[in-house]
Amino acid sequence: MKSYTVAELLSSETLVQEVIVKGWVRTFRANRFIALNDGSTIHNIQCVVDFENTNEDTLNRIGTGAAVSIKGELVESQGKGQKVEVQVNEITILGDADQEEVSKTILQPKRHTLEKLREQAHLRTRTNTFSAVMRLRSSLSFAIHKYFNDNGFYYMHTPIITASDAEGAGETFRVTTLDPQNPPLDEEGNVDYSKDFFGKETNLTVSGQLEAETYAMSLGKVYTFGPTFRAENSNTSRHLSEFWMIEPEVAFMDLAGNMDLAEDFMKSVLSYILEHNPDDLAFLEDRLIQEDKSKPQAERSEMTLIEKLRFVVDNNFKRVSYTEAIDILRNSKPNKKKKFKYLINEWGADLQSEHERFLVEKHFKCPVILFDYPANIKAFYMRLNEDEKTVRAMDILFPGIGEIVGGSQREERLDVLKEKMAALNIPEEELWWYLDLRKYGTAVHSGFGLGFERLVMFATGMSNIRDVIPYPRTPLNAEF
């Protein structure tokens, strides 16, 4: 006989049929009512036990956390809060859960802090909050692949072990098989990496962009979606040492096309979850509303979670040059009254989250794309404008978080790219293959990067990046 998921049963139109459902007990009340969940939905299904005709030993083993298989009739519910319930005919305990042990874990049905849940990350998807977050994460992953596949992109797997540091930040995790106690040394007394596994220094990738550019210049439209690593010692709510990046690269596309692509992409993936994950979004929205009630009025969110998603999906993104944005910020009330933590005094300043949020939430009241940034605050591969002061870079700013997407038209001119690399002391021999792209049929091309966990944070309303990835990797934390 077919086993049904809880989601299937709750949406079933056919009543008074015999069904089998398996899951974990959330609660067991009055020796009679089992709240059963199997992860297929935020909702539990109520299973009503005929305790007078059920073996006492079996009843004693039904407790929070236990895995059970239930056979019974799917009927219209007599109680409030659910449309259907299962009248239990037969119950099998698949896996016991010692209630004394359960009481020491987050499986205990009560409110737990997010810090406590992180300590038991292997169990936290048994809670409503984390099952909702991770179902949304899965839906967003699918929506991303669907969008690119539907729009003629090829999915490529860029290397995880690489010799390049695409961002030039130097915050990389080294990969080596050398003996840390007794590494081979060269004549100068430095570690001799020619004796290492790859014959040179290698590290975990910080970005797949440079490799994706090579494929775009032959396949036309490609994207990467994979893990990236930063050895940045930042213990903040916005940083991880291991995270996932989405990086499309497109040949023959300029900055305007790049902005069009990024806006269409963001609207598409957020529309997908609004359509396919309404229950999870409603639960997380309610969670945020309850959380807001304990905050001072000034710190409360102006929009609910679903309003925030609709704000992005339903509004055209405003396109503003960096120079224009600096003028707006310099003359803004918070800047003049010294309310900004970082005051804007001059052109060339690197914008902070508070400035980005002001532009989106207060000034334009819609998502914003800033473009043409000062060259000296952006990466070497970005296309230099004719003014030789700015580059064809763009950042997308969202409410609540500020920058979520960063991209640019790439520098396609060999001589200019060489000059920029020389100015930053990036050896040509290190990126000879990247320079080759500019020798054999160079062309305008563009792309952008999106940190997947930042997107999941925005879509779920979670305030800490550690709560939107299954097992967060942060400084001094590689548990699980």
b/e burial code for range 203-214 (CB count within 10 A of at least 16 → b): bbbbbbbbbbbb
pTM of the full structure? 0.94
Query: Strand pairing partners for 245?
Result: 226, 451
| Domain assignment of residue 116, yes or no | no
Percent of the chain at pLDDT above 90?
A: 89
Domain span at residue 304? 128-171+206-467
**407 — phi, psi (to 5°)?**
-155, 180
**CATH number of the structural domain spanning residue 163:** 3.30.930.10
Residue 166 has pLDDT above 70, yes or no: no
Asked whether the predicted pLDDT for residue 249 surpasses 70, the reply is: yes
Residues 135 and 24 in one domain: no
The sheet carrying 174-175 orders its strands as 161-162, 202-204, 174-175
Cβ–Cβ < 8 Å for 126, 107: yes
SS3 state at 147: helix
pLDDT at 167 (0 to 100): 60
Nearest in space to 409 (alpha carbons), one of 397, 401, 400, 417: 417
Question: How many CA atoms lie within 13 Å of 188's alpha carbon, on the beta-carbon side?
Answer: 4
Cα–Cα dist 462/136, whole Å: 12
Q: Which tens digits make up the pLDDT trace of 182-212?
A: 999 999 999 999 999 999 999 999 999 999 9
Express each pLDDT in 417-466 by its tens digit. 999 999 999 999 989 999 999 999 999 999 999 999 999 999 999 999 99
**Residue 112 maps to a domain:** no
Does residue 164 fall inside a structural domain? yes
Residue 477, beta-bridge partner list: 474
Both 50 and 165 in a single domain?
A: no
Task: Check residues 301 and 70 and name the one with the higher pLDDT.
Answer: 70
Joined together, the tokens standing for residue 361 give: 């939430």
CATH number where 9 lies: 2.40.50.140
Tell me what the mean pLDDT of segment 22-29 comes to. Answer: 97
Q: What is the largest CA-CA distance in the chain?
A: 86
Pairing verdict, β 402-409 and 390-398: antiparallel
Q: Please, which residues bridge with residue 446 across strands?
A: 250, 409
Query: 135 and 11, same structural domain?
Result: no
Question: What are the CA-CA distances from residue 21 to residues 63, 71, 151 (Å)?
Answer: 17, 7, 39
Across residues 321-332, what is the average pLDDT? 97
pLDDT score of 246: 98
Domain identity same for 14 and 73: yes
80 and 140: one domain? no
Choose one of 103, 120, 136: the last residue of a domain: 103
Residue 358 inside a domain? The answer is yes
Please report whether residue 58 resides in a domain: yes
Band of pLDDT at residue 478, cut at 50, 70 and 90? very high
Q: What angle do CA 110, 116, 117 make, to 5 degrees?
A: 75
* pLDDT score of 236: 84
DSSP state of 169: -
Check whether residue 99 and residue 139 sit in a common domain. Answer: no
Does residue 63 sit in the same domain as residue 165? no
Task: With cut-offs at 50, 70 and 90, classify the pLDDT of residue 168.
Answer: low
Mean pLDDT of 335-341: 95
pLDDT band at residue 2 under the 50/70/90 scheme: confident
Q: Is the same domain home to 68 and 134? A: no
Does 90 score more than 70 pLDDT? yes
| Radius of gyration from C-alpha coordinates of the chain | 27
Q: Where do runs of H (alpha helix) occur along 193-321?
A: 209-219, 255-276, 278-292, 305-314
Q: Is residue 223 part of a domain?
A: yes
Do residues 58 and 142 share a domain? no
Do residues 47 and 69 lie in contact, with contact meaning Cβ atoms separated by under 8 Å? no
Mean of all residue pLDDT scores within the chain: 95
What residues pair up with 71 in beta bridges, in sequence order?
20, 90
Question: What CA–CA distance (Å, rounded) separates 390 from 270?
Answer: 31
Q: Which residue has the tokens 């710190």?
A: 299
- Name the helix (H) or strand (E) containing 432: helix 432-436
C-alpha to C-alpha distance for 394 and 400, rounded to whole angstroms:
19
169 — pLDDT class (breaks 50, 70, 90):
low
Residues 265 and 399 in one domain: yes
Q: Give the number of domains in the chain.
A: 2
Residues 6+ apart with CB under 8 A from 195: 178, 184
- DSSP, residue by residue, 369-418: EEEEEEGGGS-TTBPBPTTSSEEEEEEEEETTTEEEEEEEEB---HHHHH
Phi and psi, residue 3, nearest 5°: -95, 135
- Please check whether residue 201 lies inside any domain of the structure: no
- Is there a domain that residue 452 lies in? yes
One domain, residues 308 and 393: yes
Give the chain's end-to-end CA distance (angstroms, integer): 37
pLDDT for residue 307 is more than 80? yes
Residues 264 and 352 in one domain: yes
- Torsion sign over Cα 195, 200, 202, 208: negative
Answer for the pair 451, 405: CB distance below 8 angstroms, yes or no.
no
Asked if pLDDT for residue 310 goes beyond 90, the answer is yes
pLDDT at res. 392: 98
Which amino acid is located at 135 in the chain?
R
- Nearest 5 degrees, angle CA 195-CA 199-CA 200? 110
